[in-house]
């Protein structure tokens, strides 16, 4: 979660510039009666919806095993419940051995680092690392990408030809560490001096202004750290805040037009047509996602007990409510007690009226920050009852949720401290793991949990443009673009020892992993034979420690080398004559066009991508680069004749 700003703790919402009053007036103009009537219907519908959610609790979470994703009966049941509640849990996505490798390498990586930016006191468990082994390996893992394709396919995608869900992109996000420390990194780590400063860490007896400011910030965050025992409960909705009301934000695609016409019943939260062209980040907010994500999500690399993640499972009614809330005001003040007849009378639709003069207030929304849902400003959502905890996450589980869903991830750094580590079941295919008493990550006798943010985003023009920027930050070890657009001073991982490279991505994810990072061209070519890394994405990962070794991954690599330039292979009917290396289904013409457009953006020096026909002659350089990545040659001697230092730094992806 994004660290909350102090204004969210006040009793009054933040007034916005005067133009937002006009934005609100424009949205309701001509629909006043319809909107007021729809508000009453919505409040009545929410009553039953809230009771249903509260009675079901965590049991309502749709769950499916990774191995069952393509079983028609399991898929249908999972899809039905996911669309109703907006979240879904895929079990066993990352094999335990692969997760253990990712954790072990991340522990080594973090124990060597001293140059990094500490998390804010409001959110001490969320770290601004983007390229740790756990993150890079998880994003590139074939089974994670297969789960992303599966989840994205459950949207109503038939009508939109501007995206390709068969090509999930890797979005660089952060990670969370709960429990004890890993080296100098963790919620209990002592304060440290800023990078590049000779100033020693401050002690408790420091009385300077910076120390006072830090203390005030910690006090301001105390209620949030208290989680559900506090007097204030706050949830967050990602993918913009004010943008949902602005004409240049989600208004560009008319995403919520039905809600603002007073017809929220006709609003379909699962239709991507209205979202692909939306702008979710108009203010370059820190951590504000600038691309279309079909899901936010996290992968658990260790056991996560209930209570760490809570979600408000209502993608339609709750979204319609917080969208309409800024246009209405209660006729009476809220009672002190939040239960009983007086509270029910306060919530009744008859006590609420559409504002005749629209104010500049949009509850829980300020420029550059995520949308906030609070008990005070959104009382009909009863978020203390409806923010339900998800079931226990086992190692390798992947939880995803709709981009309009409100959620709460605890910022209490000691939540996991009281949890006993859960020993995993024995792994028959890994003798080294079997020899360990427990693969649970512990430090000083305390369990440590690692959560990797892994959203699911399809390939679009916007995401291809983002990949071009992100590719450069990955190669340089800089923060992901959405997290450093304002010059926030995030620490760089450029000098970090053990930072993963393109070779690591190729080793883990093969051709599809490289494509997801914009490091290899998206391909329209025949499906590779069984047994290759790309085709076996539903069967296992390509990481060290799993059944698939690096040598076994070469089948997919050889396939990419053979077809590195085959981007447009259309038959005489204009349909795709081939499927991509990471899908069993045939490629549509629209998907091929999206892939070709992305290749033009990512590889502007590849002229064959501009042609609507096969041109293998332009693929030679890509083949050479992929060959170097998958078959690196260790050579400590002098450079080969004719190879200068500049060319030695050339990487897959063309330009730095």
Three-state helix/strand/coil letters over 139-179: HHCHHHHHHHHHHHCCCCCCCCCCCEEEEEECCCCCEEEEE
Question: How does strand 406-409 pair with strand 309-312?
Answer: antiparallel
Residue 310 burial (10 A CB sphere; 0-12, 13-18, 19+): buried
Q: Which helix (H) or strand (E) holds 395?
A: none
Token pair, residue 267, equals 């609003």
Question: How does strand 388-389 pair with strand 63-65?
Answer: unpaired
Which stretch of 257-261, 302-306, 639-643 has the lowest confidence by average pLDDT? Answer: 639-643
C-alpha separations of 277 from 18, 253, 255, 290, 357 in Å: 26, 6, 9, 11, 31
Locate all alpha helices (DSSP H) within 431-549, ordered by sequence: 431-434, 461-476, 502-516
Q: What is the pLDDT of residue 288?
A: 87
Q: What is the pLDDT of residue 161?
A: 82
Q: Is the CB of residue 95 less than 8 Å from the CB of residue 541?
A: yes
CA 141, CA 419: separation in Å to the nearest integer?
A: 28
Domain spans, the chain: 6-457
CA 437, CA 330: separation in Å to the nearest integer?
A: 59
DSSP-derived secondary structure letter, 275:
T
Paired strand residues for 63: 89
Residues 6+ apart with CB under 8 A from 109: 132, 133, 496, 497, 498, 499
Beta strands, E only, 83-125: 87-91
Token pair, residue 593, equals 């066009």
Neighbour count for residue 125 (Cβ, 10 Å): 25
CA 49, CA 42: separation in Å to the nearest integer?
A: 10
**Percentage of residues of the chain with pLDDT beyond 90:** 55
Which stretch of 564-578, 588-602, 622-636 has the lowest confidence by average pLDDT? Answer: 564-578
pLDDT exceeds 70 at position 404 = yes
Which stretch of 203-207, 400-404, 478-482, 567-571 has the lowest confidence by average pLDDT? Answer: 567-571
pLDDT exceeds 60 at position 296 = yes
Q: What is the pLDDT of residue 366?
A: 92
Residues 6+ apart with CB under 8 A from 339: none
Phi/psi at 18 (nearest 5 deg)?
Answer: -60, -25
CA 122, CA 304: separation in Å to the nearest integer?
A: 21
Residue closest to 106 by CA, chosen among 497, 413, 412, 510: 497
Q: What is the pLDDT of residue 554?
A: 42
Neighbour count for residue 91 (Cβ, 10 Å): 17
The residue that leads in pLDDT, 539 or 321, is: 321
Across residues 6-30, what is the average pLDDT?
Answer: 85
CA 106, CA 138: separation in Å to the nearest integer?
A: 12
Across residues 577-585, what is the average pLDDT?
Answer: 43
Residue 5 Cα to chain centre, angstroms:
21
Q: Is the CB of residue 29 less than 8 Å from the CB of residue 55?
A: no
Confidence of residue 503 (pLDDT cuts 50, 70, 90): very high
pLDDT exceeds 50 at position 331 = yes
Q: Is 487 left (phi over 0), alpha (psi -120 to 50) or beta?
A: left
CA 251, CA 278: separation in Å to the nearest integer?
A: 7
Q: SS3 for 446?
A: strand
The residue that leads in pLDDT, 541 or 353, is: 353
Confidence of residue 530 (pLDDT cuts 50, 70, 90): very low
C-alpha separations of 536 from 55, 107, 556 in Å: 41, 29, 9
Token pair, residue 549, equals 């070794």
Which stretch of 238-242, 257-261, 338-342, 637-641 has the lowest confidence by average pLDDT? Answer: 637-641
pLDDT exceeds 90 at position 462 = yes
Neighbour count for residue 372 (Cβ, 10 Å): 24
Average pLDDT for the chain: 78
The residue that leads in pLDDT, 233 or 113, is: 233
Q: What is the pLDDT of residue 584?
A: 54
pLDDT exceeds 50 at position 204 = no
Q: What is the pLDDT of residue 119?
A: 78
Phi/psi at 38 (nearest 5 deg)?
Answer: -70, -30
Q: What is the pLDDT of residue 440?
A: 57
CA 431, CA 2: separation in Å to the nearest integer?
A: 41
For every residue of 373-385, which 3-state class applies, written as one string?
Answer: EECCCCHHHCHHH
CA 365, CA 251: separation in Å to the nearest integer?
A: 16
Q: Which CATH number is correct for 6-457, 2.60.120.330, 1.10.10.1100, 3.30.420.40, 3.40.190.10?
A: 2.60.120.330
Token pair, residue 505, equals 């991505």
Paired strand residues for 407: 236, 311
Across residues 585-604, what is the average pLDDT?
Answer: 90
Residue 391 burial (10 A CB sphere; 0-12, 13-18, 19+): middle
CA 100, CA 544: separation in Å to the nearest integer?
A: 10
Q: What does the CA dihedral 317, 318, 323, 325 come to, rounded to 10 degrees?
A: 100
Across residues 48-76, what is the average pLDDT?
Answer: 97
pLDDT exceeds 60 at position 190 = no
Residues 6+ apart with CB under 8 A from 534: 142, 510, 511, 512, 528, 556, 559, 560, 581, 582
The residue that leads in pLDDT, 633 or 262, is: 262
pLDDT exceeds 80 at position 623 = no
Q: What is the pLDDT of residue 286?
A: 78
Residue closest to 242 by CA, chosen among 356, 323, 328: 323
Q: SS3 for 496?
A: coil
CA 522, CA 510: separation in Å to the nearest integer?
A: 13
């Amino acid at each position: 979660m994004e660290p909350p700003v102090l204004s969210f703790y006040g009793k009054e919402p933040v007034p916005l510039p005067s133009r937002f009053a006009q934005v609100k007036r424009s949205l309701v103009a001509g629909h006043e009666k319809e909107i007021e009537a729809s508000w009453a219907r919505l409040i009545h519908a929410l009553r039953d919806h809230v009771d249903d959610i509260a009675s079901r609790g965590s049991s309502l979470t749709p769950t499916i095993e990774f191995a069952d994703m393509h079983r028609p009966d399991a898929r249908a049941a999972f899809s039905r419940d996911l669309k109703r509640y907006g979240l879904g849990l895929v079990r066993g996505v990352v094999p335990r051995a692969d997760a253990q490798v990712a954790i072990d390498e991340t522990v080594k990586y973090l124990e060597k680092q001293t140059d990094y930016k500490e998390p804010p006191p409001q959110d001490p468990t969320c770290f601004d690392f983007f390229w740790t082994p756990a993150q890079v390996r998880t994003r590139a893992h074939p089974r994670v990408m297969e789960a992303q394709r599966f989840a994205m396919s459950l949207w109503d995608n038939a009508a939109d030809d501007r995206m390709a869900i068969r090509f999930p992109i890797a979005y660089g996000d952060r990670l969370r560490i709960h429990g004890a420390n890993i080296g100098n990194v963790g919620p209990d780590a002592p304060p440290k001096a800023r990078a590049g400063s000779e100033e020693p860490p401050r002690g408790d007896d420091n009385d300077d202004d910076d120390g006072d400011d830090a203390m005030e910030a910690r006090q301001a965050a105390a209620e949030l750290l208290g989680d559900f025992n506090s007097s204030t409960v706050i949830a967050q909705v990602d993918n913009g805040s004010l943008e949902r009301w602005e004409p240049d934000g989600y208004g560009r695609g008319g995403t919520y037009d039905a809600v603002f016409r007073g017809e929220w019943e006709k609003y379909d939260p699962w239709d991507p047509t209205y979202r692909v062209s939306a702008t979710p980040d108009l203010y370059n907010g820190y951590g504000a996602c600038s691309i279309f994500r079909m899901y936010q999500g996290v992968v658990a690399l260790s056991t996560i007990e209930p209570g760490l993640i809570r979600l408000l499972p209502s993608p339609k009614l709750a979204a319609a409510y917080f969208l309409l809330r800024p246009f209405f005001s209660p006729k009476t003040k809220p009672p002190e007690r939040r239960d009983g007849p007086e509270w029910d009378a306060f919530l009744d639709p008859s006590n609420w009226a559409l504002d005749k003069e629209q104010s500049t207030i949009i509850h829980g929304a300020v420029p550059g920050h995520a949308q906030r849902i609070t008990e005070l400003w959104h009382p009909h959502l009863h978020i203390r009852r409806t923010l339900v905890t998800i079931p226990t996450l086992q190692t390798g589980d992947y939880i995803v949720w709709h981009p309009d869903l409100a959620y709460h991830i605890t910022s209490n750094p000691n939540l996991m401290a009281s949890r006993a580590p859960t020993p995993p079941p024995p792994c028959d295919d890994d003798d080294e793991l079997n020899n360990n008493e427990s693969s649970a990550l512990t430090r000083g006798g305390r369990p440590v949990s690692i959560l990797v943010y892994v959203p699911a985003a399809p390939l679009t023009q916007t995401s291809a443009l983002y990949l071009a920027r992100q590719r450069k930050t990955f190669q340089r070890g800089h923060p992901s673009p959405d997290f450093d657009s304002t010059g926030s001073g995030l620490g760089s991982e450029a000098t970090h020892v053990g930072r993963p490279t393109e070779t690591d991505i190729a080793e883990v994810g093969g051709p599809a992993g490289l494509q997801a990072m914009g490091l290899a061209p998206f391909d329209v070519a025949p499906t590779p034979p069984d047994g290759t890394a790309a085709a076996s994405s539903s069967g296992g990962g390509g990481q060290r420690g799993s059944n698939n070794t690096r040598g076994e991954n070469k089948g997919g690599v050889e396939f990419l080398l053979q077809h590195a330039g085959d981007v447009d292979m259309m038959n005489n009917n204009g349909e795709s004559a081939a499927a991509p290396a990471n899908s069993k289904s045939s490629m549509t013409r629209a998907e091929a066009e999206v892939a070709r457009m992305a290749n033009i953006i990512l590889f502007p020096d590849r002229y064959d991508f501009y042609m609507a026909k096969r041109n293998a002659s332009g693929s030679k350089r890509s083949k050479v680069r992929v060959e170097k990545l998958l078959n690196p040659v260790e050579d400590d001697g002098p450079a080969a004749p004719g190879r200068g230092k500049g060319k030695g730094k050339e990487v897959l992806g063309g330009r730095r």
